[in-house]
Structure 1
Amino acid sequence: MKRLIAAGAMALIGTGAMAHDYGFAGVLSKTNKEEMPGITLSVGKPIAEGPITLKSGTLYELEIEADGSGELGLEGPGFFRAIWVNEVVVNSIEMRPFGMESVEFDEAGSMEIEFLAIKPGQYFLRIPNTTGETQRVDITIQ
């Protein structure tokens, strides 16, 4: 019986029936990664050029730059709950958080958030306690 099961498994492997097109690391592979516009935090300036559209199941890297013109943060709990954060990089230190709701810069600096877009819908990232359109970017996950 064991020989029969082993022979069946080898036959499936030999025909490619168990092969996938995900690449070396599945959804985290470089072949599944796409570019995403960055976000700039600066007093009185727009944080992004316009709305951003992402694809569910695709890996992205969001770069956030702060120019130090003020103590500025970025919030978007709905957006952060619709993605899976693989890693956050600040000053070459890689962190793998369970989740996040916001980030804040007390001075000039940058950070990168590598994430997998998961839940389709309409979301936003914005500077906390602001209402201006330029202090917010709308994000659609398709």
Structure 2
Amino acid sequence: MPGVAARPRLVLCSNEVADGGRLRIAQRSGLLGGGGLDVSPSLLWTGAPVGTLSYAVTATDSDGRCHWAVADVSGGVTSLVVDAGNGTGERLPSLARQLRNDYGLERYVGRPRPAPGCRDGSRSPCTQSTSEGCPWEFSPARFNWRRHCATTVSDGPD
């Protein structure tokens, strides 16, 4: 429409998780028996709206389980390094904090080994980021927000 400014589009990338690809061994769960190491992937984002104050980042799987939740990432930050979700907080940006995931841990937990008869659990969780100013709520394990405020990078259904 003429005279209507285009909304910025937040784009999220990772060196460890490819769109449509399988999780590397490091990003799969060792804690939950997936044969991995529970190392969170690096994340880099661009295209945030001008004036963004902070971000919330979550990693959820196609079943809706939250594997990682980070809040209060400063608006000036545009990336998280590999293993930022190790649970110590030492690799997170200043003031950022991890919330409890659906496994009760304040850290990144990769995909577990699927139950017998289920499909391969090595697909990447859906990683989402949203900027402050959009309505969102959190419980200890979930961030919820309206779709018009979030950008998703996903490898599609498992």
The structure whose residues are more often strand, as a share, is: 1
Task: Find the structure with the greater CA-based Rg.
Answer: 1
Same fold? TM cut 0.5: no
